[in-house]
Amino acid sequence: MKLSRRIILSVSIALVALFALWALVFYQSSKRRIYSRIDKVLVEQSDKIIGRFVDNDSLPNSISGMSGTVEFFIEKVSPEYAQNHQNLFFQTHEDYIDAIQDEETVRELNRVFEKQGIDYEIVLTTQVFAWNDTLDFAVFSIFTLAFALLLAIILIVSIIILNNMKPVYRLTEWLRNRKALDAIPEPDKRIKIQEFKEIETAVLEASEKSRQVYEEQKRFIGNASHEIQTPIAVCRNRLELLVDETQLDEHQLCEIEKTLDTLGYISRLNKSLLLLSKIDNHQFKEEAETSINQLVNQTLESLSEIYGTMQIRVSVDDRQSVTATMDPTLASSLVGNLLKNAFVHNKQGGSIDIILKDNALHIGNSGTEEPLDAAAAFQTFYKKGENTHSSGLGLAIVKAICNEYGYKIEYQFSENQHVFSVMFK
Amino acid sequence: MKILVIEDDNSLRELMHKALTDDNHVVETAANAKTAMMKAEVYDYDCILLDIMLPDGNGLDVLRQLKATRKEAGVIIVSAKDSIDDKVAGLDLGADDYLTKPFHIAELSARVKSVFRRKQQHGEHFIELGNVRMWPETRQVTINGQPVELLKKEFDILHFFMTRPDRAVSKGTLAEAVWGDYIDQADNYDFIYAQMKNLRKRLAEAQADIEIKTVHGYGYKLERQ
């Protein structure tokens, strides 16, 4: 929920509740005061009428009171009734009024008195509508005021929040789109709120720190990889000179060859790490339309030779042509690593099925009988089984390339085949 | 041939010196840019091997200065940096070749010979060994003056050995050079045998006086008969 909506909602609920409560209290207390005044008038009028009645003076049909006429009538009552109704009795009820031809609220006073040993009861009624109208209007006014106040608050809060949050929204947007090596912008002078200023400062400082760490790490990987190449060259060349210049027996030569192989592996591992870090640093900027079909067929030619002894059946469905606009080095690395993966993790007499279709490349290969851990397979140095020659970087490189270009890569295990699919855009 | 090796790593410098001396070159060395420039200005070299990352300066600056002095030396950049950008920058400045670390001794020897050949042959790019002559650009081979048809990989293998005669080459080195990047996870080098068998057969049929011999337990070596 947005902050502005939260504030508006809270204020609205509080305000409506407060005004409702206040209106209720106001209405009740006003009503009590009005009725007490009407009652006073009724008592005064009843005093006068009773006085005249006792003196046997003529009585008027009605008396005009504060809010209209006061009507009355007097009737005899039994001594028991009089005994039970000694107190003044007020009541309010709806009554049909001839003058306005409608039901109206009336206030009625029942009072028992005595004249020459005979008990009488006087009943006075007067309308209270004028008072009620005034009261209704007052309550209506209160609610109108409340509503207007609410609208004003919503408007003001919205304007304040919108104005002050804009830089915060901009900051969030920047943070979301930020790449690891982006320069850190100057603090936004438009931010006026202290808390937001502090958030901005914290965000910019954290970003700068992470940028520095990233740059440091990038430089370290690059330098380390380069520095390692020279000692590898030295080891390799010493062994090669040893072979060229010394008479060695077959066993010794065999050991040296194995050592050279391992050195070659270290060197390639190093290069793969360097490639991975370069991809992550967006250092491949060249873009060319590359035919994936052509790459697949070229790569297969070499791989089929290298893994010829495994007698793997390879089928390629390349009736549709698939192309991708990307760096040619990365394109060949992507296809090369995926295909190599299909050969390396295959079994003797296994199969590889390649389908180029709907701008996607699907490579399925036989191998282990159980599926790989799809999430872990693309991590660096993920190894399954005992293949010691696998660097565990191939699929990580594939994943990094796909991320770089926004291609989708999927792994599935179906019909005893491990299928990797790359969806080019 | 007179060669100047500019390399800051003592061990590697010593090895390069040794390997090139073994190839009957006269070799001088420099450990930093300053010494290198001093030597290059005073003496004439046929070939200069230049490490790009030097303690007292960028090797590319040395290359710029070398080219400014209008010396005729061929320059091979030796670098741990494998990126296309670095290669292009080096070659644009007039370097003749670019060798990436870690390299094989045989590779170093071949590249130096290639620079030398280019200087001598003035544009005609062929390699000759015994009665075998090959044109790497047009991928043609003649033995005893007669054209010989070779398959792609057979040609690549022959080219590899023609540029490194008399040096033992391990199977891994050969595989990496001919089959490229895909080789790194191969379990065995059986696939080399088939190609090698065919190539030897073709060389023998055409009565070539060079032979690719097996170095047991290690790899192969090209020898003149």
Q: Are strands A68-76 and A62-65 parallel, antiparallel or unpaired?
A: antiparallel
User: Where residue A370 sits, what CATH number does that domain have?
Assistant: 3.30.565.10
Q: Give the chain A residue whose CA is nearest to the CA of B9.
A: A230
pLDDT in tens, A321-374: 999 999 888 998 999 999 998 998 888 999 999 999 999 999 999 988 888 887
Reported as a pLDDT band with limits 50, 70 and 90, residue A132 is confident
Picking from A264, A345, A247, A346, the residue whose alpha carbon sits closest to that of residue B180 is A264
Same domain, B6 and B116: yes
Same domain, A343 and A227: no
Between chain A and chain B, the number of residue pairs with CB atoms below 8 A apart is 134
- Report if residue A253 sits inside a domain: yes
Is the pLDDT at B111 greater than 70? The verdict is: yes
Residues of B in contact with A260 (CB under 8 A): 170, 172-173
| B100-106 average pLDDT score | 86
Dist CA A409 CA A2 (whole Å): 36
Mean pLDDT of chain A: 86
pLDDT at A408: 93
How many structural domains comprise chain B?
2
Largest CA distance in chain A: 159
For A407, the domain range is 288-423
Same domain, B145 and B198: yes
Dist CA B115 CA A241 (whole Å): 22
Same domain, B70 and B53: yes
Same domain, A256 and A341: no
- Report if residue A183 sits inside a domain: no
Say if residues A312 and A350 touch (Cβ distance below 8 Å): yes
Q: Which uninterrupted H or E stretch holds B1?
A: none
Same domain, B77 and B141: no
Same domain, A113 and A206: no
pLDDT at A388: 56
User: Quick check: B9 contacting A, CB < 8 Å?
Assistant: yes
pLDDT at B185: 55
pLDDT at A334: 93
Same domain, A226 and A296: no
Same domain, B108 and B131: no
Is B215 close to A329, i.e. CB distance below 8 A? no
For B10, the domain range is 2-121
- A235's CB contacts (< 8 A; 6+ apart) are A263, B102
Same domain, B77 and B176: no
Is B191 close to A244, i.e. CB distance below 8 A? no
User: Where residue B74 sits, what CATH number does that domain have?
Assistant: 3.40.50.2300
Instruction: Please tell me the distance in Å from A384's CA to the nearest CA on chain B.
Output: 14
Same domain, A269 and A344: no
Dist CA A379 CA A276 (whole Å): 12
pLDDT in tens, B41-78: 888 888 999 988 888 878 888 888 888 876 778 899 98
Same domain, A259 and A314: no
- Report if residue A308 sits inside a domain: yes
Domain boundary residue, one of A238, A263, A280 = A280
Contact map slice: A 283-342 vs B, CB within 8 A: 283, 299, 302-303, 305-309, 329, 336, 340
Same domain, B134 and B111: no
User: Where residue A245 sits, what CATH number does that domain have?
Assistant: 1.10.287
Same domain, A337 and A409: yes
Residues of A in contact with B179 (CB under 8 A): 302, 305-306
Domain boundary residue, one of B121, B148, B171 = B121
- Report if residue A20 sits inside a domain: yes
- Report if residue A177 sits inside a domain: no
**A231, A245, A257 member nearest B219 (Cβ):** A257
State the pTM of this model: 0.63
Same domain, A11 and A129: yes
Same domain, A98 and A217: no
- Report if residue A76 sits inside a domain: yes
pLDDT at B210: 92
Domain boundary residue, one of B61, B89, B121 = B121
User: Quick check: A160 contacting B, CB < 8 Å?
Assistant: no
Domain boundary residue, one of A119, A139, A159 = A139
Same domain, B101 and B8: yes
Same domain, A67 and A89: yes
Same domain, B60 and B169: no
Dist CA B15 CA A194 (whole Å): 66
Same domain, B117 and B131: no
Same domain, A314 and A380: yes
How many structural domains comprise chain A?
3
Say if residues B73 and B94 touch (Cβ distance below 8 Å): no
Domain boundary residue, one of A262, A280, A298 = A280
Contact map slice: A 372-411 vs B, CB within 8 A: 387, 389-391
Q: Is the ipTM of this complex over 0.85?
A: no
Is A302 close to B179, i.e. CB distance below 8 A? yes
Domain boundary residue, one of B121, B152, B182 = B121
pLDDT in tens, A219-268: 887 788 878 888 898 998 899 889 988 888 999 999 998 898 888 888 88
Same domain, B7 and B113: yes
C-alpha distance from residue A209 to each of A290, B81, B104 (Å): 39, 28, 42
Same domain, A351 and A389: yes
| B24-40 average pLDDT score | 88
Same domain, B44 and B112: yes
- Report if residue A154 sits inside a domain: no
pLDDT in tens, B150-183: 988 899 999 989 888 888 888 888 888 888 767 7
pLDDT in tens, A11-20: 889 888 888 8
**A253, A302, A391 member nearest B216 (Cβ):** A253
- Report if residue A231 sits inside a domain: yes
